[in-house]
Homo-oligomer: A and B are copies of this chain.
Amino acid sequence: MRSDVDTHRRKLLLSAGAVLGVGAMTVAARAAEKAPPGAAFHEVAEDPTKELGRAVLSDGGYGLRSQFETEVKTIFPNPSPITSWSFTPLASQIGNLTPSGLHFERHHGGVPTIDPAKHELIVHGHVGVAKKFTMADLKAMPSVTRKHFIECSGNTLTEWKKPTAKNVQVTHGLLSTSEWTGVLFSTLAREVGLKPDAQWVLGEGADAAVMTRSVPLEKMLTDGMIVYGQNGEAIRPEQGYPLRLVLPGYEGNTHIKWLRRLQVSDRPFMTKEETSKYTDLMPDGRAKLFTLQMAPKSVITFPSGDMMLPRPGAYEIRGIAWSGHGRVKSVEVSADGGRSWRPANIENTPEPMCTVRFSCPWIWDGAGATLQSRCTDETGAAQPTRDELVKVVGLNSVYHYNAIQSWAVASDGGVTNVHA
């Protein structure tokens, strides 16, 4: 996988160079070899207190990350020009937000480039008066700012039958958290008026997939957001620039990106993505439709798969927990494969349908150990073991795997993905 990433990094440098590159070619080529994506290379002074540093705006007025920070989104299993998902490097995430540049990607027709001056949102169907909204219209309306995770319902799909993916970036990296800003759908609904029979809303994207999903009107009115801001600036291109639907706690696919149309109806639209895809095939051969809410889930990010603990001693186990039902209430950690559990510390204030960071001190005695975490949310719902999950939903579905994740620490310190 590393070599795939390297190949892609090289390609990226080529394209970034094509965008930004001017000046002496030899210097450019040499520096490009040294800096990871999103960074610029600078010489390290022997003693930084003896040498004037870079001036303000030496980054051109929009700062970059340090050249020593190298984490990137990655592809699994096979990178290709039409690969359609990339994973957030959860193991290196610090704090509780995902840097916008490392937000996971999942798209079905690639990332379009859309001019916001020409973009419009049409709201029509079972409404009083159909209306078009420009970006300027939407930005002039009352807005809210809320922090929520988005998780692809296919997150962790590699783990149903056997422990497949090596590290937490691939097992759980279709999960990211941002501060979103936009207009509540309820505000738009007041503008257009809803007919008495209105029950569902179709969201449609302006990408090459023309992605469409049906959402219950009740959800749209409760906390559905038409979002143009992410982490303090405009939403990023991969996340739907200039406009996306955010449905807190719902599966990622329903958060329609490049949103251009909302059609209100008395019934769901039964689009391809909610009939042939994004349904849960049960053991009896029938498929559940519209299983939209993401269940409580958590994962330990340190130590996690593919890491090596250098020696026995004191460690701070760290991880992420979340639930589509509401706030995370508690997280427990086990170092013995689920036989005993200890409460973890929650490192930030829990918010509804938002991740929390958790931690738990652990003394590794050098013997084999199996690390697990378990999330319980404010509705009382708790994360199941894999056996409990499979007992209920079987093994036919690829979506909504939220079982407890196990990482085995071997006596040599190596950490691997296992089914405990």
Contact = CB atoms under 8 A, between A and B. Distances in A.
Given A35-B19, A99-B233, A66 B241 contact: yes
A315 B99 CA distance: 32
Given A36-B62, A107-B56, A180-B95, A43 B316 contact: no
B116 A68 contact: yes
A222 interface: no
Contacts of A83: 55-57
Given A94-B229, A99-B232, A180-B95, A53 B107 contact: yes
Number of copies: 2
B40 A112 contact: no
A122 interface: no
A198 interface: no
A386 B52 CA distance: 38
Interface residues on A, range: 35 or more
A79 interface: yes
A213 B232 CA distance: 30
A345 B141 CA distance: 13
Interface string A386-416: 0000000000000000000000000000000
A98 to B, nearest CB: 5
- Main secondary structure on A side of the interface with B: loop
A66 B234 contact: yes
Contact of A113 (B48, B80, B144, B179): B48
Given A17-B21, A177-B232, 9 more contacts: A12-B59, A12-B60, A15-B58, A20-B32, A21-B25, A55-B82, A62-B73, A65-B100, A66-B116
A193 interface: no
Most B CB within 10 A of own CB, among A21, A35, A96 = A21
A363 interface: no
B86 A57 contact: yes
Contacts of A62: 12, 36-38, 65, 72-73, 101-102
Interface in A282-331: 314-316
A419 interface: no
A150 interface: no
